[in-house]
Amino acid sequence: MSFRVRIKNNGELEFEKPVCLCELSKDFAKDAIAAQFNGQLVDLRSTISEGGEIEFINLDHELAPQVYRHTLSHIMAQAVVNLFGAENVRLGIGPTIENGFYYDFEILNGKITEEDLPKIEDEMKKIIDQDIEIERIEMKKDQAIELMKQKGQIYKVELLQEIQDDTVTLFKQGNFIDLCRGPHLPSTGMVKHFKLLSISGAYWKGDEKRQMLQRIYGTAFAEKEQLERYLNLLEEAKRRDHRKLGPALGIFFIDFDVAPGMPIFTPKGTVILTELMNFSRQLHREFGYQEVMTPLVMSEKLWRMSGHWDHYKENMYFTSKEEQQFAVKPMNCPGHILIYKSRTISYKDLPLRFFEFGRVHRYERSGVLHGLFRVRSFIQDDAHIFCRIDQIEQEIGGVINFVHRIYSPFGFEYSVELSTMPQDHMGDVETWDRATNALKRAMEAVGLRYVVKEGEGAFYGPKIDFHVRDSIGRTWQCATIQLDFLMPQRFELVYTDVNGNYAQPVMIHRAIYGSLERFLGILIEHYAGAFPTWLAPVQVVIIPIADRHHEYAEKVKGILVEKNIRVEVDLRRETLGYKIRDAQSMKIPYMFIVGDKEEKTATVSVRTRKGNEFANRSVESVLNVIIEEIKTRALKSLMEE
């Protein structure tokens, strides 16, 4: 039976029998390295036997990195086998990830160290220089299992046993063969610009009860200049790492002996968090929210009713008292539902918008804890909107506007994703479709561009996620909006409609910062610790030149304190240069230098953290500039403009 295939930009062809994509590429795309068939990335050596659309992929295509990075993960695996011996290496998996790739290994007689990475790189370069042809092999599943058993590859055997198909694909380059779907480059010599980055531990299949493997991370790009730019970006990211900058600047620390994954904030860190909350509170009032507070510990009955017991129990903390089981809240939504249920609600009362800076606790495995980005205890700027169905689009539009108002003062641009029904979900497909379409209409109504992430919604509803882009181009998921028809059903929430009948409200879950801790970590790296003046823990440090100037320094401090400026006086017996360098290292926006001339003229000499100097300025004039800078939440010093 014949079938027709449309080749993108090259018309349509009809075939009487299966055809290999590699044969088609000879006529339509000689530089192809892979293809996309009916929207799925496939190896160039694949055979097609049904109709559809083909798009050939070359090294300039946006999908090309998935191909050459996947190939490099196998080249890295071959290099490790060559260096450590096939009898000593058990292979895990080697997928591509954003900007790179990794491969997991178990080394039976030893381990891979950081010192081994240059050796592995050199061996990879030898394999690349040999330009070995990469063969795609189709094999019966039983034969592949037997082959991997003979090689002692127990993890590959386990993966094969989980595959439902009777036939599997393997890829072979020289004497190295590996289980893989592909796609891969035609030969090992087609991409050369790569770098191995690090090595870490990783449990097999992410299960901490399974074997700990060693994971090697690498990156690769089609052009040398692209690789160099990315490596420079990584170096800059290291310089900005909040896990080092935060403690160095006296903002936070984590004591893993007494509170693993639970940050402790110093007075300086608390200042920043308070400023973030004050800014948020101001906008919440403007947008018609009511602030609430709910208990940290509540009965397990509540969490069974909400569905968290069935879908989130592994991430929760529990305690028992007086023969009752309680849970430390991982979410704020059930508490807000209790507030809704505490009184009779009319259609005239809707929408109801409750928000809370609610502290939640979620168990995360120790291996995934990461500074402020992945913690076990954090504060959410959490809100829940209870509204009628006819109010959904208006309320979602209001939240989108709120997000924009919050992010603008930080200089963030953002992109948006719509995540749909996951495999582990509550409720029926019809309800999910209804909720998903409502979110789409709301975004389209305000002209918000978005991409769809299939199957990545919350277990109770689809969601919109906002990804902010920082000053060095990295993206971070922060704000989220989740539309929920299901929890109101489970809790039997009602309101009295215009006819006096009971109707069910819709619930919108939303957070803008997301987690205050994580948002602070992002800000530390975004600003490299040099916060704009309105957020800086210390906004001005006064540095007297000599002991006789201490009294005048304290007088100037008093003037600033009256205007709510966060100010310190450096009375240490150190040199002026030392004090200035220390203030710069602590990223303090302004230094006021006071000596004989300043005291005599009732002025200050100003120095910014960037090194700009302004001699003998009146305290009032400088103070007015700083106050305006704080009031407008300016991103840069107004004295430097």
- Candidate list 329, 509, 587, 607, residue with the active-site label: 509
CB distance 92 to 105 below 8 Å: yes
Q: Is 362 a catalytic residue?
A: yes
End-to-end CA distance of the chain: 73
- Candidate list 376, 384, 526, 579, residue with the active-site label: 384
CB-based burial label for 15 (10 Å; 0-12, 13-18, 19+): middle
The interaxial angle of helices 64-84 and 117-129, nearest 10 deg, is 110
Pairing, β 590-594 against β 495-496: unpaired
Distance CA 461, CA 479 (A): 16
Look at 126-130, 373-377, 392-396, 498-502 and tell me which has the smallest mean pLDDT.
392-396
Q: Is 333 a catalytic residue?
A: yes
Mean pLDDT of 104-114: 93
Mean pLDDT of 358-374: 90
Distance CA 364, CA 454 (A): 24
**What residues have CB less than 8 Å from 46, skipping those under 6 apart?**
20, 21, 35, 37, 136, 182, 183
pLDDT value for 158: 94
Query: Bridge partners of 195?
Result: 219
Q: Which CATH architecture has domain 3-57?
A: Roll (3.10)
Mean pLDDT of 71-78: 96
299: confidence class by pLDDT, cuts 50, 70, 90: very high
640: confidence class by pLDDT, cuts 50, 70, 90: confident
Across the chain, mean pLDDT equals: 92
With 70 as the cut, is the pLDDT of residue 624 above it?
Answer: yes
Percent of the chain with pLDDT over 90: 70
Distance CA 108, CA 421 (A): 42
CB distance 367 to 208 below 8 Å: yes
Handedness of CA 284, 290, 294, 300 (dihedral sign): negative
**48, 49, 120: which is closest to 81 by C-alpha?**
120
Tell me the C-alpha to C-alpha distance, in Å, between residue 209 and each of 162, 180, 205, 256, 362: 19, 25, 10, 22, 20
- Candidate list 173, 214, 380, 539, residue with the active-site label: 380
Q: Is 449 a catalytic residue?
A: no
Look at 280-294, 422-436, 570-584 and tell me which has the smallest mean pLDDT.
422-436
Residue with the larger pLDDT of the pair 220 and 313: 220
Q: Which CATH architecture has domain 252-526?
A: 2-Layer Sandwich (3.30)
pLDDT 10s digits, 550-562: 999 999 999 999 9
Phi and psi at residue 91, in whole multiples of 5°?
Answer: -90, 135
**379, 129, 154: which is closest to 270 by C-alpha?**
379
With 80 as the cut, is the pLDDT of residue 451 above it?
Answer: yes
Mean pLDDT of 147-172: 94
Q: Write down the pTM of the prediction.
A: 0.83
Query: Bridge partners of 290?
Result: 354
* CA quadruple 96, 99, 105, 110: dihedral, nearest 10: 170
pLDDT value for 544: 97
Domain 68-238 has CATH 3.30.980.10: yes
pLDDT value for 641: 62
Q: Is 130 a catalytic residue?
A: no
Three-state helix/strand/coil letters over 25-94: HHHHCCCCCEEEECCEEEECCCEECCCEEEEEECCCCCCHHHHHHHHHHHHHHHHHHHHHCHHHEEECCC
pLDDT value for 52: 85
Distance CA 491, CA 488 (A): 5
Query: Bridge partners of 200?
Result: 215
With 70 as the cut, is the pLDDT of residue 481 above it?
Answer: yes
Phi and psi at residue 344, in whole multiples of 5°?
Answer: -80, 130
What CATH number has the domain spanning 540-640? 3.40.50.800
- Candidate list 362, 425, 510, 609, residue with the active-site label: 362
- Candidate list 74, 156, 178, 333, residue with the active-site label: 333
Q: Is 382 a catalytic residue?
A: yes
pLDDT value for 24: 84
- Candidate list 104, 178, 381, 382, residue with the active-site label: 382
Question: Three-state SS for 460?
Answer: coil
- Structural domain boundaries in the chain: 3-57, 68-238, 252-526, 540-640
Residue with the larger pLDDT of the pair 233 and 23: 233
CB atoms within 10 A of CB 545: 18
pLDDT 10s digits, 187-203: 999 988 999 999 998 88
Mean pLDDT of 300-318: 87
Locate 310 and state its tokens: 């069935």
- Is the omega angle on the peptide bond into residue 330 within 30 degrees of 0, that is, cis? no
422: confidence class by pLDDT, cuts 50, 70, 90: confident
Query: Bridge partners of 506?
Result: 387
Instruction: Write down the residue that tokens 């100010």 correspond to.
Output: 567
Distance CA 18, CA 3 (A): 9
- Candidate list 45, 74, 329, 463, residue with the active-site label: 463
With 90 as the cut, is the pLDDT of residue 367 above it?
Answer: no
Percent of the chain with pLDDT over 70: 100
With 80 as the cut, is the pLDDT of residue 582 above it?
Answer: yes
**What residues have CB less than 8 Å from 47, skipping those under 6 apart?**
18, 19, 20, 21
pLDDT 10s digits, 311-346: 888 889 999 999 899 999 999 999 999 999 999 999
With 70 as the cut, is the pLDDT of residue 464 above it?
Answer: yes
1: confidence class by pLDDT, cuts 50, 70, 90: low
Q: Is 384 a catalytic residue?
A: yes
pLDDT value for 148: 95
Mean pLDDT of 469-497: 90
Locate 328 and state its tokens: 């430390």
Mean pLDDT of 206-220: 91
